[in-house]
Structure 1
Amino acid sequence: MARETRKQMIEQAALLFRGRGYGATGIREIAAAAGAHRGVIYHHFPRGKTEVAEEVLAATDATVGAYIESWCTAQQPVPAMRAIIAGAKTMMAGGEHPPGSPVAAVTIGAGPDDQALRESARAIYDRWQRAFRDCLRRNGTPDPDATNLATLLIAGIEGALVLSRAEGGSAPLDRLAAALEPLLRTPRSSRDPE
């Protein structure tokens, strides 16, 4: 029961951070959304909202990072990119909650004393980019192009999630996929000036 309550608080915090922002979400709101008394949250998370955010980041990375690594290991760059964007549509833009990324929400909302949260977010983004960069490298894209394209994909998804929220639908993620596909299909030699 206690483990389920803790898990529910992490899940609800991720949705609140995604929908309202990390800075605008209070510990009472997290407890209420999880159907728990405020005191219970301090039992599970003695360091309060910062500890909840750490767990949200870890849970998001455990799920999203594993999918990205799996897709990038098993596929060529274009299908891997399409799978990653489809996953973002399902996990971060689907359902009744506003589109968004809990990682972005925590990164943007973290205050000056939350350096550890920003470092955790950086490590997560590095992991996600590294998986796609390695996919590109295995399929013949050299650096710096592989690194730059991996950054473009992850940054593009985060930006497309913001646009999805503004537009009220996931079309920006589709447009991102359509824009990236020609870049991923173009051989290195044709992108380089002679």
Structure 2
Amino acid sequence: MGTKSQIIEIATALFQEKGYNGVGLNEIINACKISKGALYHHFPNGKEELLIACLGSLNEVITKDIEEIFDQYPTIKEAMKAMIEKLIAKFETEGTITSYTFSSIVSEMGSLSEAVRIACSNLYTKIEGIYSNKLQSDGLSEESANSIAVTMTAAIEGGILLCLTNKTSEPLKMISQVLLRLV
């Protein structure tokens, strides 16, 4: 793994754990065991540029995983059930699901730039698109599929936060049951 990839991986974990405002550049530099010059070599515009790179990396990882699951199952119900079961299993074995969410970063949106807001929006839009396409392939109209995709995204993101906050996978189990009845 190259230095830039290492910085992105470590900074992503720190941002998810502590939020954007809760992590300083010195903490990232120390965790990566690099110099300040090395960080600025890869991210000349500093912390915000690094955050956008982290969001891009999360976008790739999260959407690739969702697409792989959704491609394996013929219906939205089967795909959604498999995806939520994977999240539940990850939480129950690892005690966290932070690699599947960026809500802790987004929660500080008011203090972040338009470029960061757009990077976050792009990820949500891509996830909603995956859900909507599967719903449409199950026969729903584009309008209905888009509405349900937004609901799914919000419910799953919220469920992940509730699991992390309450230290139980029950919220995702309940959400799975409700979403399966919805579709």
Measured against the shorter chain, the TM-score band is: 0.7 to 0.9
Corresponding residue number in structure 1 for 2:159: 160
Structure 1: where are the runs of 5+ without partners?
185-194
Alignment partners' CA distance in 2, 1:104 and 1:30: 20
Hey, what does 1:16 align to over in structure 2? 14
Instruction: Say whether the 8 Å CA contact 1:133–1:149 is kept in structure 2.
Output: yes
Equivalent residues in 2 for 1:111-190 (5 A)?
Answer: 111=110, 114-184=113-183
Aligned to 1:5: 3
Q: How many residues align?
A: 182
1:146 offset after TM fit, Å?
A: 1.2
What TM-score do the two structures reach when normalised by structure 1? 0.81
Residue 104 of structure 1 pairs with residue 103 of structure 2: yes
Distance in 1 between the 2:121 and 2:103 partners? 10
In the alignment, what sits opposite 1:78? 77
Task: For 1:161 and 1:5, locate their aligned partners in 2 and report how far apart those are by CA, in whole Å.
Answer: 30
Q: Which residues in structure 2 correspond to 1:27-42 (within 5 Å)?
A: 27-42=25-40
CA distance in 2 between counterparts of 1:59 and 1:164 reads 23
8 Å CA contact 1:99–1:164 kept in 2: the answer is: no
- C-alpha displacement of 1:171: 2.4
Secondary structure of the residue aligned to 2:171 is helix
Contact 1:17 1:25 (8 Å CA) reproduced:
yes
Distance between the aligned counterparts of 1:103 and 1:118, measured in 2?
12
Match of 1:43 among 34, 41, 46: 41
Q: Which amino acid aligns with 2:134?
A: C
* In structure 2, C-alpha distance between the alignment counterparts of 1:87 and 1:102, rounded to whole Å: 14
Task: Give the corresponding residue for 2:60.
Answer: 62
Code of the aligned partner of 2:177: A
In structure 2, the partner of 1:187 is none
Deviates more, 1:122-131 or 1:166-175: 166-175
TM-aligned CA distance change 1:49 to 1:43, over 3 Å: same
Cα pair distance change 1:96/1:182, threshold 3 Å: closer
* Overall identity of the aligned pairs, in %: 26
| Structural RMSD (CA) | 2.4
How far off its partner does 1:98 sit? 7.3
Equivalent residue number for residue 190 of structure 1: none
Task: Quote how far apart the aligned CAs of 1:39 are.
Answer: 3.1
